[in-house]
Amino acid sequence: MTKRPINNLKLGIFVLVGLLLLIFSLYMIGRDNNLFGKNYKLTARFENVQGLTVGNNVRYAGIQVGTVKKIRILNDTLIEVAMLIDVKMKQYIHKNDIVSMSTDGLMGNRILNITASKDGSLLAEDGDLLATKKNISTDEMLETLDKTNRNIAVISEELKTTVLRINSSAAIWKLLNETELPDNLRASVLSIRHATGRADEMVKDLHSIIADVKNGKGSLGAILTDTAIARNLEEALLKIQQVGDHATALVDELSKLTAGIKEDINSGNGTAHALLKDSALVIKLNNSLSNIEKGTDGFNQNMEALKHNFLLRGYFRKLEKQKRKQ
């Protein structure tokens, strides 16, 4: 047996490197489990922990800050979860912060999230109980989805009947197959475009008119902008008011007058009363008028006799000639 040379230095390095790697990896693994750092305890109470187990991660604003230490059933509706939190986080976690449960990724492990309440409450102490928020579990989500699915089924069924009816409707297909319709539509659209173009021009004109009015051009502008006119108008109005006042005075006098007249008439003074109320006078008047009629009749006969008189015939002929000339 030949003794092979041995190098204690190399053996020492070999073993040391192995041991260091062992210690290092133990530290690295232990660091995640909070075995070597200083921790403090916080608790939260849930109705349902949804599969959370001891050792699950606790995150504060998405940062890994600790692990679940213990899960204890308090009673049939309450489960207490104790968390070990890195003591460095003591200056950030407040008493009113909220603990909620979620999943790491889509199908990953359960995690606890501590969300900052941002209301400036006191910092949480060792052993404090934090409030929790109930999260929607996948079961509840699926239940809602189930309802939605059923509704969608109903809707799709109705859509199907609608589409079937549309398909079987001759009128719509006729409308769709109409070849002239697009041309007509195009023409309509063209005329609408013209109309709108004109409307646009009109609006522009209106705009310019309004601008002119604003600038005091034209009579409307003058009315609106000229202060002198306003003064004149005011005066005119004042005068109209005065006239109105005068008119009322006039009306008053008139009414007095009519009242006087009325009185006169009723009491039997004056000619008007004689005219209106005296029946004897009316008979006399009638007689006089018939006498006058008879008189004028006789006068007419006398005049006719005069026309035919030889003395005056020449004058009347001259008059007739002049009429003809004209």
Partner 1 sequence: MALSHTWQQFLDETGDISRFTRRFFLQGFKPRYEIAELLRQCYIIGYKSLPLVGLTGFIMGLVLTMQLRPSLISYGAESELPAMVGIAIVREIGPVITALIFAGKIGSSIGAELGSMKVTEQIDAMEVSGTNPFKYLVVTRVLAATLMLPVLVILGDAISLYGSYLGVNIRGITSFSLFFQQVFDALSFSDFFPALIKSYFFGFAVGIIGCYKGFNSSKGTEGVGRSANSAVVVSSVLIFIIDLLAVQITDILGFN
Task: Give Cα separations from 132 to 80, 86, 112, 113, 255 (angstroms).
Answer: 11, 20, 10, 10, 94
Closest contact distance (angstroms) between CB of 28 and partner 1 is 4
Closest contact distance (angstroms) between CB of 188 and partner 1 is 55
Specify the residue, 29 or 199, whose C-beta has the smaller distance to partner 1.
29
Q: Is 15 in the site for partner 1 (CB under 8 A)?
A: yes
Q: Is 21 in the site for partner 1 (CB under 8 A)?
A: yes
Sequence-distant (≥ 6) Cβ neighbours of residue 96 within 8 angstroms: 117, 119, 121, 131
Q: Is 19 in the site for partner 1 (CB under 8 A)?
A: yes
CA 177, 183, 187, 189 dihedral sign is: positive
Specify the residue, 13 or 276, whose C-beta has the smaller distance to partner 1.
13
Is residue 100 within 8 Å of residue 44, measured between CB atoms?
no
For residue 303, the SS3 value is helix
Q: Is 220 in the site for partner 1 (CB under 8 A)?
A: no
Q: Is 37 in the site for partner 1 (CB under 8 A)?
A: no
Q: Is 22 in the site for partner 1 (CB under 8 A)?
A: yes
Task: Please state, in angstroms and rounded to a whole number, the distance separating the CA atoms of residues 300 and 318.
Answer: 21
Token duo for residue 301: 């006969």
Nearest to 72 by CA among 84, 64, 80, 60: 80
| Residues in 54-93 that interact with partner 1 by CB under 8 A | 55
Closest contact distance (angstroms) between CB of 173 and partner 1 is 47
Specify the residue, 19 or 210, whose C-beta has the smaller distance to partner 1.
19
Q: Is 175 in the site for partner 1 (CB under 8 A)?
A: no
Kindly determine how many residues on this chain lie close enough to bind partner 1 according to the rule CB under 8 A.
23
Closest contact distance (angstroms) between CB of 7 and partner 1 is 6
Is residue 102 within 8 Å of residue 56, measured between CB atoms?
no
Closest contact distance (angstroms) between CB of 35 and partner 1 is 9
Closest contact distance (angstroms) between CB of 68 and partner 1 is 14
**DSSP code string of 217-275:** -HHHHHHHH-HHHHHHHHHHHHHHHHHHHHHHHHHHHHHHHHHHHHHHHHHT-HHHHHH
Specify the residue, 6 or 122, whose C-beta has the smaller distance to partner 1.
6
Specify the residue, 26 or 131, whose C-beta has the smaller distance to partner 1.
26
Closest contact distance (angstroms) between CB of 40 and partner 1 is 22
Q: Is 28 in the site for partner 1 (CB under 8 A)?
A: yes
Q: Choose one: 24-32, 223-231, 252-260, 261-269; the region binding partner 1 (CB under 8 A).
A: 24-32
Task: Give Cα separations from 143 to 108, 140, 148, 151, 304 (angstroms).
Answer: 22, 5, 9, 13, 127
Specify the residue, 11 or 237, whose C-beta has the smaller distance to partner 1.
11
Q: Is 6 in the site for partner 1 (CB under 8 A)?
A: yes
Q: Is 2 in the site for partner 1 (CB under 8 A)?
A: no
Is residue 120 within 8 Å of residue 65, measured between CB atoms?
no
Is residue 26 within 8 Å of residue 62, measured between CB atoms?
no
Sequence-distant (≥ 6) Cβ neighbours of residue 49 within 8 angstroms: 71, 79, 81, 101, 110
Is residue 80 within 8 Å of residue 72, measured between CB atoms?
yes
Q: Phi first, then psi: give them for residue 210, nearest 5 degrees.
A: -60, -40
Q: Choose one: 29-37, 122-130, 147-155, 175-183; the region binding partner 1 (CB under 8 A).
A: 29-37
Q: Is 4 in the site for partner 1 (CB under 8 A)?
A: yes
- The contact set with partner 1 (CB under 8 A) reads 1, 3-4, 6-8, 10-11, 14-15, 17-19, 21-22, 25-26, 28-30, 32-33, 55
